[in-house]
A and B are shown apart, each in its own frame.
Chain A
């Protein structure tokens, strides 16, 4: 296990289509986060899981977005009826929250382009 893996690295989709991204965190990490990053901006928080429970969702996460982490391991982020404004880099990060440790390890991201 060498880090956080995200798949695919790039996705081009037509407006209105559904897309799904996958994140495989570091195996011993209990927290998994999804962020969105647009050009010239910092990562913006979308949602996070502790084990399999989704504990918080940002107001950025519209009802077209859904995330799951069914067995507390990998996670998926689905965007339904994509819009051009959804074009961004979607970053996954994982961490082990305990003993005062808050640091993340990020994946390489999935770059989504909606045409």
Chain B
């Protein structure tokens, strides 16, 4: 019930390729789904979020899609660059606080 499952745990791509990270949840009451990027030794930073009344949201090279019926949401990064290398966390709003996935380590090689 409470956890957010995130896959894959590691992802390696070539510069310019696309990267997709997927998260699943089981609580149908969840209505807010953010994505955070954490570079090595730094704080997690919000990069994009989506609410349950929207199916897709885009911000330049990143996009998030939400399928409420199937209870999954995904982060899409296009034209990846070496500076996209980081750990990415999905999360869901659980009514009082955010519950985070275990993270995906994205490595972009040039």
Contact = CB atoms under 8 A, between A and B. Distances in A.
Interface of A: 4, 33, 35, 40-45, 48, 55-56, 91, 100, 102-109
Interface string B28-47: 00001010100000111110
B93 A102 contact: yes
Contacts of B102: 40-42
Nearest to B99: A45
Given A100-B51, A102-B93, A42 B100 contact: yes
Given A40-B103, A42-B102, A43-B100, A103 B51 contact: no
25 contacts: A4-B43, A33-B98, A40-B102, A41-B102, A42-B6, A42-B101, A42-B102, A42-B103, A43-B44, A44-B100, A45-B99, A48-B97, A55-B96, A91-B43, A91-B44, A102-B34, A102-B93, A103-B34, A103-B46, A103-B49, A104-B98, A105-B46, A106-B36, A107-B43, A108-B42
Interface in B78-105: 89, 91, 93, 96-103
Contacts, number: 51
Contact of B97 (A33, A40, A100): A33
Contacts of B6: 42
What is the size category of the interface that chain B forms with chain A?
20 to 34
- Sort A-B residue pairs by CB-CB distance and give the 10 closest, nearest first: A42-B100, A106-B43, A102-B32, A108-B43, A102-B93, A45-B97, A42-B89, A43-B100, A106-B44, A42-B102
A44 B4 CA distance: 11
A55 B96 CA distance: 9
Contacts of A43: 44, 89, 100
A84 B108 CA distance: 35
A54 to B, nearest CB: 12
A91 B42 CA distance: 11
Given A104-B46, A108-B43, A48 B89 contact: no
A10 to B, nearest CB: 11
Nearest to A55: B96
